[in-house]
């Protein structure tokens, strides 16, 4: 899947999870940090791809990208598995705990969940593509949805751009509309400074 699909999918997944829970008060800093972490989580597994936008936007990204890609075992390997989710989860937790003294108003627990939701959404979305995802590494089988490879989509092709992406955007809008009253009450009353 292309990065834009992952961005939208991560946000839609975050909305779906947040709106299925009772809303409780959070700081504005937490909301901003959570959305940011969710977007990073949504593209994080593709750090194993030297051509990923993540690397292209860094000055010496090409070199680092190739190095990290090799460490991750190549594209769609460790960072695209449950093992990878656990490793990234530990790393994110450690990083957030280290940053917490600088950002005391941020609820790092929520930010961590938001990052993980982004990552999980990435693996689910990649499962819909022809290549599949090695969810159970070190067992090297690649899984896909639907299981018949021929029925899955090819990354970057028209189906992704003109069907998958609009459907995800539509879903996010629908989720927002469904909970509009709760969201507006929430933003009026509970977002603290």
Hey, which residues between 26 and 45 contact Zn ion (CB under 5 A)?
45
State the minimum distance, in angstroms, from the CB of residue 48 to Zn ion. 8
State the minimum distance, in angstroms, from the CB of residue 156 to Zn ion. 12
Pick 46 or 160: Cβ nearer Zn ion: 46
126 scored as a contact of Zn ion (CB under 5 A): yes
Pick 46 or 107: Cβ nearer Zn ion: 46
Pick 7 or 46: Cβ nearer Zn ion: 46
48 scored as a contact of Zn ion (CB under 5 A): no
Total residues at interface with Zn ion (CB under 5 A): 3
Hey, which residues between 93 and 122 contact Zn ion (CB under 5 A)?
none
Pick 30 or 121: Cβ nearer Zn ion: 121
- Kindly report the length of the chain: 193
Pick 80 or 114: Cβ nearer Zn ion: 80
Q: Which residues pair with 133 in a beta bridge?
A: 143
State the minimum distance, in angstroms, from the CB of residue 79 to Zn ion. 8
46 scored as a contact of Zn ion (CB under 5 A): yes
State the minimum distance, in angstroms, from the CB of residue 130 to Zn ion. 13
CA distance 30 to 104: 10
Contact residues for Zn ion (CB under 5 A)?
A: 45-46, 126
């Amino acid at each position: 899947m292309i990065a834009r699909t992952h961005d939208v999918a991560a946000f839609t997944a975050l909305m779906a999870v947040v709106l299925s829970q009772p809303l409780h008060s959070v700081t504005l800093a937490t909301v901003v940090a959570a959305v940011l972490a969710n977007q990073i989580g949504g593209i994080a597994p593709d750090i194993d791809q030297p051509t990923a936008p993540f690397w292209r936007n860094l000055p010496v990204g090409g070199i680092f990208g190739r190095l990290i890609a090799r460490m991750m075992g190549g594209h769609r390997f460790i960072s695209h598995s449950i093992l990878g989710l656990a490793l990234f989860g530990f790393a994110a937790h450690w990083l957030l705990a280290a940053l917490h003294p600088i950002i005391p108003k941020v609820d790092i627990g929520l930010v961590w969940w938001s990052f993980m939701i982004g990552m999980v959404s990435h693996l689910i979305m990649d499962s819909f593509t022809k290549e599949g995802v090695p969810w159970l590494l070190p067992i090297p089988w690649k899984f896909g949805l639907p299981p018949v490879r021929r029925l899955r989509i090819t990354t970057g092709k028209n189906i992704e751009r003109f069907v998958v992406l609009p459907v995800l955007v539509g879903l996010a809008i629908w989720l927002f509309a469904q909970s509009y009253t709760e969201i507006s009450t929430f933003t009026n009353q509970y977002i603290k400074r």
